[in-house]
């Protein structure tokens, strides 16, 4: 049974196959006929892009979709996550897409007979976001080997930073980091930290991150102005980037905070292309998880 909890679940061949299939969907391939399966979406944290792109992918594949809201489910009565998903399995769901604030929540779900697709677990992993980031980079550069990727911002609290750093290194990219010292994490950065003014000159890909205020316990947060001047991608810093370098961001974007407003939609920005690629990636993952065979046109 194919599941996607972390990218560690994937072999090199499976990763290549998923990116190939996602690229095919991104280039306009579509299903010749509707697929027959039911997928449950369980989002225990707020989400726009991930939730909506999963729903869009499911509908385009012709899947039946159940959206379970945690606040109106028996979870509010103390039901365990396992029993909730087991119930969905019992009534005929074929897969579950889950976002949860607890890291590695999926370890509670051993013994299920339906696949679980991780749509984000706390500050742990976000495998489908990483896949869409990989697809976006691949579309731009065709390869990953020796590309200089700078991930900038709230590294410590970011599941995107953690997942992307690991897989990009495996693919041969040269991964660096930038951001406030208190938000660095040696287990992710491995000491490869650059000042922001050096980072923008080094990067082939500037991967900006949202500040994860909902995961912060410490006091003394940065002001918008101070952070933007010290660690933001300002218009002045963008002018120092390589001619072929691109800007990425998993969104939601705080314009004028981690990135200047004008740069969100500038020529080198791939932020909205990432979002479009999210539908293609999630279609590829769903088809693989459900072991569906579909003809495409």
Feature table: binding site: 49-50, 77, 99, 126, 129, 159, 210, 251-252
A 10 A CB-CB count for 23 gives 17
Give the separation between CA 162 and CA 182, rounded to whole angstroms.
16
Which residues are known binding-site members for carbamoyl phosphate?
Answer: 49-50, 99, 126, 129, 251-252
Count how many Cα atoms sit within 13 Å of the Cα of residue 191 in the half-sphere of its side chain.
Answer: 0
Cα radius of gyration rounded to whole Å, the chain: 19
Closest by CA to 297, choosing from 108, 14, 31, 88, is 31
Give the separation between CA 45 and CA 269, rounded to whole angstroms.
27
Contact (CB, 8 A) for 122 and 67: no
Report the residue count for the chain: 297
Closest by CA to 263, choosing from 245, 285, 281, 286, is 245
CA dihedral (293, 142, 166, 273) positive or negative: negative
Give the separation between CA 157 and CA 184, rounded to whole angstroms.
9
Give the separation between CA 159 and CA 145, rounded to whole angstroms.
23
Which residues are known binding-site members for L-aspartate?
Answer: 77, 159, 210
Backbone angles phi, psi at 181, to 5 degrees: -55, -35
């Amino acid at each position: 049974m194919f599941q996607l909890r972390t990218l560690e679940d994937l072999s090199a061949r499976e990763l290549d196959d998923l990116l190939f299939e996602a690229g095919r969907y991104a280039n306009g391939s579509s299903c010749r006929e509707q697929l027959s399966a039911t997928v449950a979406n369980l989002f225990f944290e707020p989400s726009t892009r991930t939730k909506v792109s999963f729903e869009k992918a499911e509908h385009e594949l012709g899947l039946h979709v159940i959206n379970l809201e945690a606040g109106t489910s028996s979870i509010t009565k103390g039901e365990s996550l396992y029993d909730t998903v087991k119930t969905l399995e019992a009534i005929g769901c074929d897969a579950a897409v889950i976002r949860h604030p607890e890291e590695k929540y999926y370890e509670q779900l051993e013994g299920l007979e339906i696949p679980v697709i991780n749509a984000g677990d706390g500050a742990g992993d976000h495998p489908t976001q990483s896949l869409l980031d990989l697809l976006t980079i691949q579309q731009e550069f065709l390869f990953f080997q020796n590309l200089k990727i700078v991930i900038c911002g709230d590294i410590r609290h970011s599941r995107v930073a953690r997942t992307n750093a690991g897989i990009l290194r495996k693919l041969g990219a040269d991964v660096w980091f930038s951001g406030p010292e208190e938000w660095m994490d040696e287990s992710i950065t491995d000491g490869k930290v650059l000042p922001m003014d050096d980072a923008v000159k080094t990067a082939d890909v500037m991967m900006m991150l949202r500040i994860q205020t909902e995961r912060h316990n410490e006091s003394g947060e940065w002001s918008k102005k101070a952070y933007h001047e010290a660690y933001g991608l300002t218009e002045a810093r963008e002018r120092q980037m390589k001619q072929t370098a691109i800007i990425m961001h998993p969104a939601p974007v705080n314009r004028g905070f981690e990135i200047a407003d004008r740069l969100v939609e500038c020529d080198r920005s791939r932020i909205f292309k990432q979002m479009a690629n999210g539908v293609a990636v999630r279609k590829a993952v769903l088809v693989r998880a459900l072991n569906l065979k579909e003809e495409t046109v």
